[in-house]
Amino acid sequence: MVMYQDAKTQAQEDPKRFWAEQAAQISWYRPPQQILQENSDGTHQWFADGTLNSCHLAVDIHIEQGRGDQLALIYDSPVSETKATFTYLELRDAVARFAGVLSQMGVVKGDRVVIYMPMVPEAAIAMLACARIGAIHSVVFGGFAPHELAVRIDDAKPKILLTASCGIEVTKVIPYKPLVDQALEEATHQPDQVVVLQRPQMSAELKSGRDLDWYQVQEGVEPADCVAVGALDPLYILYTSGTTGQPKGIVRESGGHAVAMHYALREIYNMQAGDVWWGISDIGWVVGHSFIVYAPLMGGCTTIFYEGKPVKTPDAGALWRVIQEYQVQGIFCAPTAFRAIRCEDPEGDLFNQYDVSSLKHIFVAGEKLDSPTYHWLHELAQKPVYDHWWQTEIGWPVTAPMTAWGETSIRQGSTNRAVPGYDVQVLGADGQVLEANEMGAIAIRLPLPPGVAQTLWQNHERYLNAYLGAFQGWYFSGDGGYLDDEGFVYIMGRTDDVINVAGHRLSTGEMEEIVATHSAVAECAVIGVNDDLKGQVPVGLVLLKAGAQYEHETVEAELIALVREKIGPVACFQRAIVVERLPKTRSGKILRAVLRKVANGETYTVPSTIDDESILPEIEDNMRREGLVR
Ligand code: COA
Ligand code: AMP
């Protein structure tokens, strides 16, 4: 208790000293003298004059410290029936060679490289190779459609694009290369070269002059060494959903990120060098960046790189099998994965076939941990299950137990207390700090700690508006919730158009933009509806253009296909229904929050600004008939 309070107070009262001590725990080429500076627009700079290299910290340093023969990465792929291991020495050689390839292609510090790949070790090698030469990687999740990839290519303007011939989804082989070709047809910007990893499950056609084979390009190439980059130089751009079709390019600075990764891995997750850690996610998401690749490797752990699902590859015992096989000590997973496992193995028959005694604890985040799943998992695994909260912009946990300090208390429904370094408060509409147990906007007092994005790629204005504009002196998270008397934080969900589908962050605003492009659609609202497996799923409520005769079922099917084509299968947009009218305010704004409550069977108050009250019972009936009301 003393340690938590002391650390929290120290971080709040003297952030420079607190973070200078954390920064001293990592190996810089030039240790920073300037710890924290404020910019005139309210953003901050951490460790501005420090230089380092994130690949050096994740790979080479462990060889220098005598851990070269320790396993750095274990690749386990039930979908391709492949397993492989890399010691730190082997990983260094593979990364240095690929960094040499990129250098030979003319990639220099500050150039962008887009990575659109499945969960194969080459993807991690590519990320680290970029870091090695100071190039900025931008990984795009494989479940996104060509249009989404094209939007990101046009924003990041990569010199090189790295991909694979295919991904493997349970039993389906998904050709990736045709998706890349399609994206490049749509994109204005064109990379100089596309490097393709040919997988045995499916080989891709290579376009002459532009496309190159992953392994052929490595022949005879000189390995490249780590270059020094500035603490403020971007390590990566990761696009995440905002409220429009234009995703936000989150920029992660090298210095603050490295300091934050070390702090989080050690103090929150309680992992030490030599421990085996498994971040159960995908490199396309922030969890993959922070807790599959960078943090566990920077901490000298062995990281599990899993290409498979929690169920069906081959069954709901997959997680427990991996934990037993590699003696995993800590895991991080989205609650949806446990809901999927529970659905298929409710009594734990598969669980009982494995020995998971190596496991210290289970961390979950990415979406709300519902109480039945928490209790089921805790009783089954007999391990502490810690809910914690963060977001892509932030890059590492905001509220979490500091397990290394023995701070292991759990309040079911809470994502725990603020990690020292964050001052988390709940604000009212006019920016005042609310009392305990009062519901409001979850915000973090500036300065934000190291590692948190301070800008969006090529769009600083949008950053300022989206995050710092709502409340002067605060970062607004986009989440609503409350704190209890002892500072435990309860996240109640987004206050904007962002939803979480199977732990994947998606924009209903973007889906609306796509639905609205259909020639039959006059107006639409896409809302997130609660779902037992995926947490939330999007549902479209559509008003058709007057006068024309449209077959409702045809339009609905076309809309589903359209969203899948534009955003990708990951959107899980599987319901669109035609309605007669949509409830609006007198100023014409669709009452999406009320619609969400109707669909989720929650009680709602009719807003005083509503234009026509009679629409609500009508639409409720309509949604009930369609089986949309829970
Ligand atoms: N490449 C190509 N397609 C992909 C993909 C990828 N990397 N990932 C998902 N997809 C596709 C799936 O094949 C599926 O397509 P379909 O509609 O043709 O069947 C669609 O996208 C939806 O996938 P998903 O949301 O994964 O649903 P699912 O029913 O296949 O699996 C779960 C459900 C719960 C098992 C799965 O979502 C899961 O493991 N979730 C964990 C989430 C997670 O790790 N989130 C990371 C943030 S912490
Ligand atoms: P992402 O940027 O994809 O990590 O998504 C971040 C969003 O996911 C947050 O703003 C929250 O809305 C939600 N989220 C993340 N972790 C949790 C959690 N533990 N409980 C509830 N919601 C969460």
Ligand 2 centroid, distance to 211 Cα (angstroms): 37
Ligand 1 centroid, distance to 570 Cα (angstroms): 6
Res 285 pLDDT > 70: yes
What residues line ligand 1, using a CB cutoff of 6 Å? 118, 142-143, 167, 169, 174, 280-282, 285, 287, 309-311, 334, 336-337, 340, 366, 502-504, 569-570, 572
Token pair recorded at residue 84: 């492989």
DSSP β-bridge partners for residue 172: 169
Alpha-carbon span 55 to 125, nearest angstrom? 10
Q: Name the pTM for this structure.
A: 0.95
Ligand 2 centroid, distance to 222 Cα (angstroms): 42
CB-CB contact of 42 with 473 (8 Å): yes
What residues line ligand 2, using a CB cutoff of 6 Å? 240, 286, 365-368, 387-389, 391-392, 415, 477-479, 491, 494, 500, 505
The tens digit of pLDDT for each residue in 418-432 reads 999 999 999 999 999
Q: Residue 138's Cα: distance from chain center in Å? A: 13
The tens digit of pLDDT for each residue in 552-595 reads 999 999 999 999 999 999 999 999 999 999 999 888 889 998 99
Query: What pLDDT shows up at residue 1?
Result: 54
CB-CB contact of 191 with 159 (8 Å): yes
What is the average pLDDT across 509-533?
94
Structural fold of domain 502-625: GMP Synthetase; Chain A, domain 3 (3.30.300)
Alpha-carbon span 277 to 118, nearest angstrom? 20
Angle between helices 177-186 and 146-156 (to 10 degrees): 60
Atom number in ligand 2 closest to CA 286 = 4
Query: What pLDDT shows up at residue 2?
Result: 63
The tens digit of pLDDT for each residue in 15-32 reads 999 999 999 999 999 999
> How many residues are given for the chain?
630
Domain ranges for the chain, please list them: 21-308, 418-497, 502-625
Ligand 2 centroid, distance to 392 Cα (angstroms): 9
The tens digit of pLDDT for each residue in 134-186 reads 999 999 999 999 999 999 999 999 999 999 999 999 989 999 999 999 999 99
Structural fold of domain 21-308: Rossmann fold (3.40.50)
Q: What's the chain's average pLDDT?
A: 96
Query: What pLDDT shows up at residue 242?
Result: 83
Alpha-carbon span 592 to 582, nearest angstrom? 9
Type of residue at 250: I
The tens digit of pLDDT for each residue in 340-384 reads 999 999 999 999 999 999 999 999 999 999 999 999 999 999 999
What is the average pLDDT across 393-408?
97
Our mutation pick for probing the ligand 2 site, out of 479, 496, 497, counting the most ligand atoms within 8 A of Cβ, is 479
Which residue's C-alpha comes closest to atom 24 of ligand 1?
A: 570
CA dihedral 45→51→57→61, nearest 10 degrees, is: -150
Exposure string over 261-280, b if 16+ CB within 10 A, otherwise e:
bbbbbbbbbbbeeebbbbbb
Angle between helices 592-599 and 615-625 (to 10 degrees): 40
Structural fold of domain 418-497: Luciferase; domain 3 (2.30.38)
Res 627 pLDDT > 90: no
Lay out the sheet containing 276-280: strands in order across. 82-87, 71-77, 302-306, 276-280, 330-333, 361-364, 385-387
Query: Which ligand does the CA of 479 lie closest to?
Result: 2
